[in-house]
Amino acid sequence: MLDQCLDGVRVLDLSQYLPGPYAAQILSDLGAEVVKVEPPAGDPMRRLGPLDGDGVSVFYKLLNAGKTVVRLDLKSRQGGADFAALAGCADALIESFRPGVLDRLGLGHEALAGLNRGLVHCALSGYGQSGPYARRAGHDLNYMALGGGLATSGPSRAPAMVHPPTADFAGGMQAALATLAALLRRARSGEGAFLDVSLTESVLAWQALSLTGALRPGHEPERGRSLLTGGAACYGIYRTADGRFVTLGALEPKFWADFCRAVGREDWVTRQWEPLPQEALIGALAALFASQDLSHWETTLGQVDCCFQAVLDPAEVPDHPQIRARGLVRCGEGPEPMAEVLFPAYLDGLAPAPRAPFREALAADIMAAWVGI
């Protein structure tokens, strides 16, 4: 089972909001014991988003399922000492403070490494631990803007805000991946690590194609005008007569030809690689799709090998036959239902295990289990 891969690994999650907690949840899904350390008032994420009857945000519950939560005041002498003791027994630490904050608390990397030579310390920040933006505030939209994730996204008139927050989730995945690699190295050498992971650079790492295109005249990626940004008729989003949307991803000539024949427009087959942007051909496809409701296009194209897929509303996703068959979405019932998506991988054909709800614990209980005091 996936939830046994990191059995015995102890992780301290000192992060807040979305990216760090998501990174720590990935490790929890893989079997690590994750203890989330929050300030006395709790992670601010507890109050962001729809609040349940207990006053806790459902978003917080989703991101922290599978963890044990304790509260420590790191600004106090006792709280700092307790955290240092836990860090001395941990295998990994994920934190998302601005650079320098933990150092001011006496809990920076050097101090913690002195207590635990094998600690893998992952510092997840907006812009990284160095550079002129290191201590600058930001959120997902800012990181996407600087990292190159917004400039080529959306229609030609303006960049489009993406959802869910891409930099946050990309950064969380990058932090988990780097932590796993450092733990693997530690298994060989016994040495811990300090990992500097930034949300901006997690987006930047995906931009090599765009950056290279920008260096070559005539190949600059442009919103609504390039092959993968809306400039090609064979790769786009179209509105149907009933106000729904469909996607067509027929990049390969065989898929495009199958689509053209299925809609009775074999004369379009040879037009696939007209110069970009293909405004005339895109307009023709837009008129075609707008002439019928979504149900017509699902009947006409659903079984055609042409990379066609309707745009599903969130409420439709769990009941889609493909999603239901894979079993990764678990929808609750009752007055406060939530939909949980499990770790997206199968191990030897076995589906991932469901997550337990997060649980609150006293710091003393974790100290007794980890430190023996």
Active site residues: 139, 168
**How far are the Cα atoms of 88, 229, 246, 295, 296 from residue 243, in angstroms, in the given order?**
58, 22, 10, 12, 13
SS3 labels along 306-354: CCEEECCCHHHHHHCHHHHHHCCEEECCCCCCCEEECCCCCECCECCCC
- The answer to whether the peptide bond before residue 357 is cis (omega within 30 degrees of 0) is no
Beta-carbon count within 10 A of 155 CB: 12
User: Measured between alpha carbons, how far is 321 from 52 in angstroms, rounded to an integer?
Assistant: 30
Report yes or no: 144 and 122 within 8 Å, Cβ to Cβ: no
User: Measured between alpha carbons, how far is 324 from 316 in angstroms, rounded to an integer?
Assistant: 11
User: Measured between alpha carbons, how far is 280 from 274 in angstroms, rounded to an integer?
Assistant: 10
User: Measured between alpha carbons, how far is 92 from 150 in angstroms, rounded to an integer?
Assistant: 33
| Burial (0-12, 13-18, 19+ Cβ within 10 Å), 150 | buried
Q: With CA atoms as reference, report the closest residue to 87 among 110, 66, 67.
A: 110
Q: Please give the structure tokens belonging to residue 123.
A: 């510092």
Q: Is 127 left (phi over 0), alpha (psi -120 to 50) or beta?
A: alpha
User: Measured between alpha carbons, how far is 369 from 355 in angstroms, rounded to an integer?
Assistant: 22
